[in-house]
Amino acid sequence: MVQPYKHEPFTDFEQQEHKKAFEDALKQVKEQLGQHHDLLINGERVRTDDTITSTNPANTKQVVGTISKANQDLAEKAVQSASDAFEDWRKWDPRARAEILFRAASKIRRRKHEFSSYLVYEVGKPWKEADADTAEAIDFLEYYGRQMIELKEGKAVESRPGEENRYVYQPIGVTVVIPPWNLALAIMAGTTVAPLVAGNTVVMKPASNSAVIAAKFVEVLEESGLPKGVLNFVPGSGGEVGDYLVDHPKTALISFTGSRDVGLRIMERASVRQAGQNHLKQVIAEMGGKDTVVVDKEADIDTAVDAIVVSAFGFSGQKCSSGSRAVVHEDVYDEVLEKVKAATEKLTVGNASEENVYMGPVVDQGAYDKIMSYMEVGREEGRLVTGGKGDDSKGYFINPTIFADLDPNSRMQQEEIFGPVVCFTKAKDFDEAIEIANNTEYGLTGAVISDNRAHLEKAKYDFHVGNLYFNRNCTGAIVGYQPFGGFKMSGTDSKAGGPDYIALHMQAKTISEKF
């Protein structure tokens, strides 16, 4: 009997035994760095001369690993392999598919600190952020397995005398999964196993910045009993391999998490019918955010300060849910700003492998250069309160930064920076604060800090985001507790970790028999 779902608990690093265990895992994984990881196509390891090199963003001289790089010929083999494997995999009992996920969850749980250590080294996640990422990956495996078991018999429909009607779900086909690097284990795992447990086969093209973590996860699924060809692992460039997979006539579903521009490009390409294609491609897309913490004049100031700091600077602001905007009522604006400044200047920045580092590096040179370019924009459009500096001599480190007194329509308040920068704007009343919060093209997450019940009720209907939080930060959604996905240009509101997510990877079929 499958036990009721509960999310994976986070590690308490205040306890000496947990701290020691994590330090030991970091040492163990450090000795494994630099290894090579091959492609996986039809159950066979494929090594290529062309490779991707993954380095530690906190220490760019440290190679985390090398990964074979796919080309279009190998991508074609991967799609054909997935297409062939689909004919058998789609007929597996859904519970048997779910049990593979449960076995994988158990394996990752036993190796939790090992996977978290890879997150530390490959994408620069501090201990707590890495631990939460691994816990979320476990949650996706456990939750989606249970969701598929619930859906295996379909949904109830009515039958009339002399007939029997059934409403069942069936898998769609070959799914192309293109996950991001920021939740390098969690989102990659969730977007991979959701189509798999639904009976689809997968061609997964991981982010180059986190391909080693993806390779380690693929190994776990293999060890857990996944048949050959059901999952194919093909790291490669977006322009060569990504476009080829999206365009392929046998691709039935594309699951993408990343930037707005890439997401829109995928949706556009997926809408084109290719030669030999006899179906409409479906797209699940999560495409970023420009998320706002609204602070009312009737707010607990300490709660507001904590919400802003955690939302803005967790994982160096490299979350689509990061609260990069603070819209504060004019009556408490100066007080909130000053206290956020004081709290921000206490944050530690350094190598994520070290204990008690709050912020590690940003992920790579491109991210560093982009974020630093916004420092000049911020100085032109507003007032630099603290931060604004970076150092890329050894790794990609940027100080947590606050800009104040920004126009709601300024670039700083409209464009997704994806770094440790929070921008303050003053509102004359609560209505204006919500109006400002809604004035971006995104609609992913938001938070309202207020003790005014009427204002919270208003925000329920008027603050147009997919994930709305009251009197807390706007990041850290828990699988099965706070299904995650946004409105507007933030994506298709697919609500990962929610009760209807698995159904998005299937087709509903009505079967009616007359007696």
Question: Is-catalytic flag, 355?
Answer: no
Q: Are 308 and 324 in contact, with CB atoms under 8 Å apart?
A: no
Strand bridging mode 59-68 / 506-514: unpaired
Distance CA 142, CA 167 (A): 25
Q: Are 261 and 288 in contact, with CB atoms under 8 Å apart?
A: no
366 phi/psi in degrees, rounded to 5: -60, -45
For the chain, the farthest-separated pair of C-alpha atoms sits apart, in whole angstroms, at 77
Report residue 111 as tokens.
Answer: 């190796």
Query: 8, 320, 381, 474: which one is catalytic?
Result: 320
Render 166-221 in DSSP notation, one character per residue: EEEEEE-SEEEEE--STTTTHHHHHHHHHHHHTT-EEEE---GGGHHHHHHHHHHH
Distance CA 42, CA 277 (A): 22
Report residue 158 as tokens.
Answer: 């009515």
Give residue for tokens 């000053």.
338
Give residue for tokens 């009737």.
298
Side chain identity, residue 120: V
SS in 3 state form for 226-279? CCCCCEEECCCCHHHHHHHHHHCCCEEEEEEECCHHHHHHHHHHHCCCCCCCCC
Distance CA 94, CA 96 (A): 5
Rounded-to-5 percentages of helix, strand, coil across the chain: 40, 20, 35
Q: Are 445 and 466 in contact, with CB atoms under 8 Å apart?
A: yes
Q: Are 381 and 412 in contact, with CB atoms under 8 Å apart?
A: yes
Long-range contacts of 85-92 (CB under 8 A, 24+ apart): 85/42, 85/201, 85/227, 85/228, 85/229, 85/230, 86/171, 86/173, 86/174, 86/200, 86/201, 88/227, 89/171, 89/199, 89/200, 89/201, 89/227, 89/230, 90/170, 90/171, 90/199, 90/200, 91/199, 92/199
Query: 8, 129, 286, 381: which one is catalytic?
Result: 286
Compute the residue count for the chain: 515
Question: Is-catalytic flag, 423?
Answer: no
Half-sphere exposure of 176 (CA within 13 A, CB side): 31
2 phi/psi in degrees, rounded to 5: -80, 125
In three-state secondary structure terms, 512 is strand
Active-site residues, by number, are 286, 320
